[in-house]
Structure 1
Amino acid sequence: MGCSLLVSMASLVCLILLPVIFFQGKPSKAMVDALAVFGAGAMLGDSFLHQLPHAFGGGHSHSHDHEGHDHAHEHAHAHSLEDLSVGLSILFGIVLFFIVEKIVRYVEDNSQKGAHSMGHGHHHHHHKRHDSSDKAKLNHQKNDDDGKETNQTDEEPLVDGTTAKVTTIRKRSSSASSKATDGEHANSENEPAPDKALTSDGSSISNSNLVFGYLNLFSDGVHNFTDGMALGSAFLLHGSVGGWSRTLFLLAHELPQEVGDFGILVRSGFTVSKALFFNFLSALVALAGTALALSLGKDPGHSSLIEGFTAGGFIYIAVAGVLPQMNNQKTTLQSSIVQLISLAMGMLVALGISLVE
């Protein structure tokens, strides 16, 4: 359990990066983007070079029928559902994350529409009251003027003066109404959009981006759970030497992964303190995996399916979440080169760890 806690503490390495991320008291957008893309590269590399090889290598088999010396020419592949279970778990992970994202976005959109309709109805009610008030004033003034006209003689200047007075009042009323309308429009323009969140650097980030942040936390939690199970199994099957060697491999694996996850959370709209807290909370799930393996006294099994599910979630977050966000902003040659290097570095780190492990 101590080794599992040590691996979980790797998420706090992001504290070292805070002086690098912050520039003049504000998070550097270029640095946050680079960390997010690095995290996407680490996710893709970890999925294709670490998790999927382990998943397909564990208990995956094909049924082959070979007859005599004709096996070089004739192969009969009979794929059972069990043979396809790892591939199905990957697809299940992708589809499940897609469904979760759709549900969250649907709830957000409907809540925003409800809030907007309430605010819109309030403005219409205010306009109606204002217009009815103006009409009452004009009608009252018109009746007074009509009474004055009946009591007046046919002197032309007096009629002209009354007409000018009515015209002036109407102009003033129209001007006041337009000013009130303009003021309300200005207030509505100054109000922050309901689907925008203001980060500490002053830039607005859509709340829908938070979905990928929470999906990343969920997927990373499942991944840490499998790491905890593997760590507990290593101590049970290979003793302290095997357990400590597995701990070192997990530390080397988790350090870049946690840095990338931190960048993805900040890029999704999390505050720095909130990203650190939830990242550490997700890392603590490894303790549950280790406890489960130790309590059962063996590998709980089905780890290949969990690896496949986690890989599917990582692939979805990287391909459907992080990378499209980089293309939705202003593209410059410098930012593109930095993001490409960050993506390649994340993949190379995953490759190096997979080769050593």
Structure 2
Amino acid sequence: MTLFYIVLATTAGGLLSVVIAASLTLSLLGRVVRHLVSLSVGVLLGTALLHVLPEAFESSVPPQRLFVTLLVGLLFFFLLEKAELYRHGHHHEGDGHHHHHHFDAEQAGRGGWSVLVGDSIHNFCDGIIIAAAFLADTRLGLVTSLAIIAHEIPQEVGDYIVLLNAGFSRGKALLYNALSGLSSVVGGVLGYFIVGPWEALFPYLLVAASSSFVYVAVADLLPQLQRRLPWRSTMAQLAWIGAGLAVVVLARSLLHEH
């Protein structure tokens, strides 16, 4: 059953992003992505700081080792993004980032394949993280999957918008996103068979997962929300972040009741 849960969870994010992208217009997708980015911040930080890290620190591993793992994880994801192998773009033309016209078309035209390769590696890492969480505890796996799906959807929808602006057809853009999402399934299945026998590594893997969540939220998502906005828009951002935190707290309480 654990392997089934892993495959189901790793498939969910990619499928949801494709369904959402296929069912909405480009302008509506842009507005949805903005709200989902704020929601993702709350879900990622809530999962990392309120659920996954406490679970790891309840183990017998000395806290200093886990803090070192957290530090190394943050630096690792920083370097991976520097190499353009771990990106999480959610921008689109007209999003207020002040890119010049046809910015997305130029970016996708020059580096479309690197974007797809980078997202595939990102999704593959997410699959391993989900596998490690489910192997440690089913409830932890469910909450971790929720966090990954929450940031997977705006990531994939954002890439879909970039590909459309670059001139890709809707069908081809959706196909590329779906194929990229399948790499998380590969990572999850490999993680199940490779990580499973090494139970002593689970606390370290959970901290590594948390470093990924914190890095994505703090280094990528929050800066997108920092530009000057009317107070109502700022309050809306805070509300969506709060909703993300509430989802994590509610999910945790519901899972612990069963």
Please say whether Structure 1 and Structure 2 have the same fold, judged by a TM-score greater than 0.5: yes
Name the counterpart of 1:267: 158
Is 1:2 matched up with 2:4? yes
Distance 1:28 1:6, change over 3 A: closer
SS of 2:244's equivalent in the other structure is helix
Q: SS in structure 2 opposite 1:84?
A: helix
Note if contact 1:253-1:350 (Cα within 8 Å) is conserved in structure 2: no
What secondary structure does 1:314 align onto?
Answer: helix
Task: After TM superposition, give the deviation of residue 44 of structure 1 in Å.
Answer: 0.9
Q: 1:336 aligns with which of 231, 234, 258?
A: 234
Query: How large is the Cα RMSD of the aligned pairs?
Result: 3.8
Matched, 1:288 2:187: no
Q: Aligned residues: percent identity? A: 17
Q: Where do 1:189-268 residues align within 5 Å?
A: 196-198=103-105, 218=121, 221-232=124-135, 246=138, 250-251=141-142, 253-255=144-146, 257-267=148-158
1:86 matched to which residue of 2?
A: 66
Give distance in 1, aligned partners of 2:69 and 2:122: 13
Aligned counterparts of 1:33 and 1:26: Cα–Cα separation in 2? 11
Change (3 A) 1:267 1:91: same
Aligned partners of 2:79, 2:142: CA distance in 1, in Å? 32
Q: Which residue of structure 2 aligns with residue 51 of structure 1? A: 52
1:79 match? none
What's the offset of the Cα at 1:8?
2.4
| Cα shift at 1:85 | 1.0
**Structure 1 CA distance, aligned partners of 2:181 and 2:81?**
20
- Other structure's SS at 1:286 match: helix
Matched residues in 1 for 2:190 and 2:145: separation? 17
SS in 2 for 1:60: coil
1:134-188 CA distance string (max 9 Å, x none): xxxxxxxxxxxxxxxxxxxxxxxxxxxxxxxxxxxxxxxxxxxxxxxxxxxxxxx
CA distance in 1 between partners of 2:76 and 2:215 (Å): 10
Contact 2:127 2:188 in 1 (8 A): yes
Alpha-carbon shift at residue 293 of structure 1 (Å): 5.1
Matched residue, 1:60: 61
Q: Which residue of 17, 26, 48 corresponds with 2:20?
A: 17
SS, match of residue 104 in structure 2: strand
Residues 233 and 293 of structure 1 are in contact (CA less than 8 Å); yes or no, is this contact kept in structure 2?
no
Alignment gaps of 5+ in structure 2:
86-98, 164-172
Following superposition, the deviation at residue 270 of structure 1 comes to: 4.8
- Residue 315 of structure 1: aligned partner: 214
266 and 316 in structure 1: CA distance in 2 versus 1, 3 angstrom threshold: same
The 2-side partners of 1:96 and 1:301 are apart by 21
Rounded to whole Å, the distance in 2 between the matches of 1:304 and 1:229 is 9
Could you list the runs of 5+ residues in structure 1 that have no partner in the other structure?
62-82, 106-191, 235-245
Give per-residue Cα distances to partners, 1:253-285, cap 9 Å, x unaligned.
524631432213433665462444423422442
Distance (Å, rounded) in 1 between the aligned partners of 2:117 and 2:40: 15
Please give the residue correspondences for 1:176-191 in structure 2 after superposition, counting only pairs within 5 Å. Answer: none
CA distance in 1, matches of 2:116, 2:41: 12
Q: 1:25-70: CA deviations, max 9, x gaps?
A: 5443221111122122211111101211111112234xxxxxxxxx
Relative to structure 1, is the Cα distance of residues 84 and 43 closer, same or farther in structure 2, using a 3 angstrom cutoff? Answer: same
Secondary structure of 1:302's counterpart equals helix
Please say if 1:100 is aligned against 2:100.
no
Distance (whole Å) between structure 1 residues aligned to residue 70 and residue 33 of structure 2 = 29
* Number of residue-to-residue matches in the alignment: 226
The worse-fitting range, judged by mean Cα deviation, of 305-314 and 249-258 is: 249-258
- The 2-side partners of 1:55 and 1:281 are apart by 26
CA positional deviation for 1:91: 0.6
The answer to whether the 8 A contact 1:40-1:343 is kept is yes
TM-score computed with the length of structure 1 as normaliser: 0.52
5 Å-filtered alignment, 1:129-168, equals none
Would you tell me which structure has more strand in proportion to its own residues?
Answer: 1
The structure with the larger Rg is 1
If the length of structure 2 is used for normalisation, what is the TM-score?
0.69
State the shift of 1:98 in Å.
Answer: 2.1
